[in-house]
Amino acid sequence: MGSDSSRSSLPAPYRNPWRALGDDLRAVLADLRLRLQELWRRNGEGSLGRPPWWPRDLAPLFWPLLLAAGLALLVAAGVGVARLAPLQAPPPVEEPELGSTSELLEAESPPAPPLEQALEQPPEQRPEPAREPAPELAQEPQPEPEQGSVAPDPLQELLARPEAQDLLKAAEADPARSTLRLLVKPAFLSLSTAQQQRWAEQWQPWAQELGYEHLELRDVSAGLVARDVLVGSGMIVLSSHGQG
């Protein structure tokens, strides 16, 4: 009796807790390995539980396929949550403080060279000022004159007009005096003064069309038959020739 009581009162031997924890972890891993081996063996034998509709020949594939499907669902759920998560807003960009307008213009435009330095440079090296492109003007294509054709004489065109009525013989131009001279035929001199006045006033716009300020009517002998008035508009017919 006395010996037993003395043994129980002795202190328990000291054991390092970290070493004890390592031994326990090794024991747990060994137990898990044995259990997994048992499950693998039973799954291969087809003794694990499965639905009654699962074919008996495919019994070893039931649980591996179920585990693979569960992992695929977890991965898909994680991807969906990541897509639905709100995107983080980018950090605000710090805008530089705006200075005066003159400072901005000086920062954007390059410094101009001094006037003395620009004058010392040769002309071909001096910077040319920027020129704005001139707007293109729409020009109608002008017909090119045909080869061998001669431009018609405007004086001959006057004589070919039906208003001449075989009363005009020739037409002369005096650009120095800005005067157009029409040489009349004898048939014009045989007309009355009123008729001559009417024909002269009808021919007066012809001189203005060609750019002449004055009009003179002369006969074959270079005598003056009619001329324009100096003030206003109209023609003066000399009556001495009108009575011819």
Q: What whole-number percentage of the chain has pLDDT above 90?
A: 10
pLDDT at residue number 243: 44
Alpha carbon distance 95, 187 (integer Å): 97
The larger pLDDT score, comparing residue 171 to residue 120, is at: 171
Encode pLDDT of 108-129 as tens digits.
555 555 555 555 555 555 556 5
- Cα torsion at 46, 47, 51, 52 (round to 10°)? 90
Would you say 218 and 182 are in contact if contact means Cβ atoms under 8 Å apart? yes
3-state per-residue secondary structure call for 199-226: HHHHHHHHHHHCCCCEEEEECCCCCEEE
The answer to whether residue 31 scores a pLDDT higher than 90 is yes
For residues 187-209, average pLDDT: 86
The answer to whether residue 83 scores a pLDDT higher than 70 is yes
Alpha carbon distance 194, 167 (integer Å): 15
pLDDT at residue number 227: 85
For residues 86-108, average pLDDT: 58
Encode pLDDT of 118-165 as tens digits.
555 555 555 565 565 554 544 555 655 555 556 678 878 877 787 776
Q: Hey, which of 31-45, 67-81, 128-142, 189-203 has the most confident mean pLDDT? A: 67-81
